[in-house]
Amino acid sequence: MPPNPNKLLRELPPYDVLGEVLTSLGLKSRLFCRTELSAPWVIQFPRQDMLHFHILERGSAWLELSAKSASRALAPGDIVVIGQGHGYRIADQAGRRGVQPIEFPEESADNRYQVLRHGHAGSGTVMICGSFLFDNAAGHPLLEMLPPLIHIKSDPATSWIDFVARLLTAEVAQMRPGTQTVVSSLTDILFVQVLRHWMDAVATPAGWLTALKHPQIGPVLAAVHERPDAAWTVDKLARRASLSRSAFSARFAKVVGETAQDYLMRLRMQRAAKLLREEHLSLAKVASAVGYDSEAAFNKAFKRWRGKTPGQFRRELHETPGV
């Protein structure tokens, strides 16, 4: 029987675990400056609890992650992302010494990016600098497994990242009406593109990113991220993976790096933190939204994870300026 040409087929894409995780982590990407630099120059960046990124638009530069590490050459179009907790320096010359490091001015109150000029205008190196910060990081394996440095060179294999980087550098250079909104969206896209590149191009060790593609563990992660409020048990998760309870527990721990119970608990707590931060829900409704029938049980679990009760967490958020 020939197929009915009028039949409408609908196929839902698989649940986007990575997208949901980035949302729940509270990604806050921002661009803080465009630098126009003439030699000699050095920029020193202290250790911070955020990821930094730089895109070299024009000229040349050298990156040092530490005093003992070799300098890494950066070419136009290159993108570098430096991991959390790593101090580093970027200079016009490999091993540059005897030059007073450039000090960045205080951030503007409204987080607008700034243009910094050093030396003769219109010559030398042009670079944009920004950061990726997470409100609800709390030890998520995605952030813990990122390397100290991701260096993406401009070539045909990175055409999508190059495209985003070119849009970003062009938008920052022109400073047209609406630029701040465009830049905010492009920096979010840049982070996702960098992650995709790293996942595809680097032989990552067993861990959370590998688990997303695992034929048995991947569907389990998708299920719990889509419905963290469901009454999940190890037996139910094992059945979804088509494994026995013992085989599933061992495989999950090996691939993900923690037990299924610990993973589910942290997922629920991160989701709860996001709801407490962004939604005007009662604590009972937040508890229910993350799979707890009892507000008391939720309070106990949240305090064990965060070191404070959900009520204390919410009050401190409201008491903190700018949050």
CATH code at 217? 1.10.10.60
Q: Is residue 40 part of a domain?
A: yes
* pLDDT, mean over the chain: 85
* Count: domains in the chain: 2
Tell me the DSSP string of 147-176: -SEEEE--SGGGHHHHHHHHHHHHHHHH--
Same domain, 164 and 81: yes
Domain encompassing residue 127: 17-201
Q: Domain boundary at 201, 236, 270, which?
A: 201
Of 85-94, 197-206, 213-222, give the lowest mean pLDDT range.
197-206
Same domain, 41 and 178: yes
Nearest to 56 by CA among 119, 155, 157, 125: 125
Q: Is residue 99 part of a domain?
A: yes
Nearest to 78 by CA among 123, 32, 126: 126
Same domain, 190 and 247: no
Q: Which of 13-17, 66-70, 210-214, 223-227 has the highest mean pLDDT?
A: 223-227
Of 136-150, 168-182, 263-277, give the lowest mean pLDDT range.
136-150
**Residues with Cβ < 8 Å from 203, sequence gap 6 or more?**
none
Q: Is residue 85 pLDDT above 70, yes or no?
A: yes
Grouping H, G, I as helix, E, B as strand and the rest as coil, residue 10 is: coil
- How confident is the model over 233-279, as pLDDT tens digits? 999 999 999 999 999 999 999 988 889 999 999 899 988 988 998 77
Q: What is the pLDDT of residue 12?
A: 58
Same domain, 272 and 289: yes
Same domain, 57 and 148: yes
Q: Is residue 10 part of a domain?
A: no
Q: Is residue 146 part of a domain?
A: yes
Q: Is residue 148 pLDDT above 60, yes or no?
A: yes
Same domain, 178 and 37: yes
What number is the average pLDDT over the span 211-221?
90
In contact, 32 and 131? CB cutoff 8 Å:
yes
In contact, 125 and 56? CB cutoff 8 Å:
yes
Confidence of residue 300 (pLDDT cuts 50, 70, 90): very high
Q: Is residue 108 pLDDT above 60, yes or no?
A: no
Same domain, 175 and 224: no
Instruction: State the Cα–Cα distance between residues 236 and 244, nearest whole angstrom.
Output: 10
> E strands of 4-148, at which residues?
27-37, 42-45, 51-58, 61-64, 72-74, 79-82, 88-91, 114-118, 125-134
Q: Is residue 12 part of a domain?
A: no
Q: CATH number, domain at 197? A: 2.60.120.280
Q: Which amino acid is at 44?
A: Q
Same domain, 82 and 62: yes
Instruction: State the Cα–Cα distance between residues 133 and 108, nearest whole angstrom.
Output: 17
Q: Domain boundary at 167, 201, 235, which?
A: 201
Q: Which amino acid is at 268?
A: R
Q: Is residue 105 part of a domain?
A: yes
Q: Domain boundary at 201, 227, 243, which?
A: 201
Same domain, 168 and 265: no
Same domain, 182 and 258: no
Q: What percent of the chain has pLDDT over 70?
A: 87
Same domain, 56 and 175: yes
Residue written as tokens 């492009």?
186
Same domain, 93 and 135: yes
Confidence of residue 197 (pLDDT cuts 50, 70, 90): confident
Instruction: State the Cα–Cα distance between residues 22 and 190, nearest whole angstrom.
Output: 13
Q: Is residue 6 part of a domain?
A: no
Q: Is residue 7 part of a domain?
A: no
